[in-house]
Structure 1
């Protein structure tokens, strides 16, 4: 059963402008080390890579119904890749606590993430799927 759905559209040039203006202060506040390393390995698309991840964080905050309130912070939401290469979210702190609060006993919530970009836009969708632990 779907218990949360979030989407976000992010302007890549806006992310580049934030990097240019605020540099590491912006990058350290918003992105995890893993996300920053991923972007650095893509020197021609750093802003696009980060914009997709920014959109994923926004989409997650919408899917859990809080936005960036009630302890849900951007840095607690990290985009990582599964061994298959598919993107997913690694959640810590308030972002993890909010997901746990939505999860009834005997169930788990699986996070599905898809991201894309086509300059000047980056987009992400997050779907939260509730499943019985026996079905996992």
Structure 2
């Protein structure tokens, strides 16, 4: 079952100007060290930051709150699998909100996709609740 959907469109040039103006103050307020390392080793540094900015906005919308109600920017962060697929992680208040949304007997799975086409970066987040798998009952005749 779908618990939430969020999307966001970020202007890469706006993020680039913000990075130039506020530098580490902006980076450290919004992005985790992992996100910063990823962005700083990319040729399109601003685009990488913009995609992660959009992902955080999209995730907050999927959680049903937007960036209010206690969610901090760094409560949501994006890493990448070895294949390059982005993965959204939540901690702090965002993780507590996710737990509130998740029905008993289910686990929450956050799906995220990122794209960019200069000057735009976009993210789309879907939060899914999957039933927990229960081990077969050995006493059951069909187990």
Normalising by the smaller structure, the TM-score range is over 0.9
Normalising by structure 1, report the TM-score.
Answer: 0.94
Structure 1 unaligned regions, length at least 5: none
Asked if 1:131 is matched to 2:130, the reply is: yes
**Structure 1 segments of 4 or more deviating over 3 A?**
none
Task: Name whichever of 79-88 and 55-64 sits farther off.
Answer: 79-88
Paired position in structure 2 for 1:20: 20
3-state DSSP of counterpart to 1:6? strand
Aligned partners of 2:3 and 2:102 also within 8 Å: no
- Answer with 1 or 2: which has the greater Rg: 2
Q: How far apart in 2 are the matches of 1:93 and 1:71? A: 9
The Cα shift of 1:82 comes to: 2.7
Instruction: Tell me the CA shift for residue 17 of structure 1.
Output: 0.7
Name the count of aligned residue pairs. Answer: 134
> Equivalent residue of 2:133, what SS?
helix
Q: Which residue of 1 aligns with 2:70?
A: 71
TM-score by length of 2: 0.90
Whole-angstrom CA distance in 2 between matches of 1:8 and 1:55 = 5
Matched with 1:120 is: 119
Q: Give the deviation of 1:40 after TM superposition.
A: 1.0
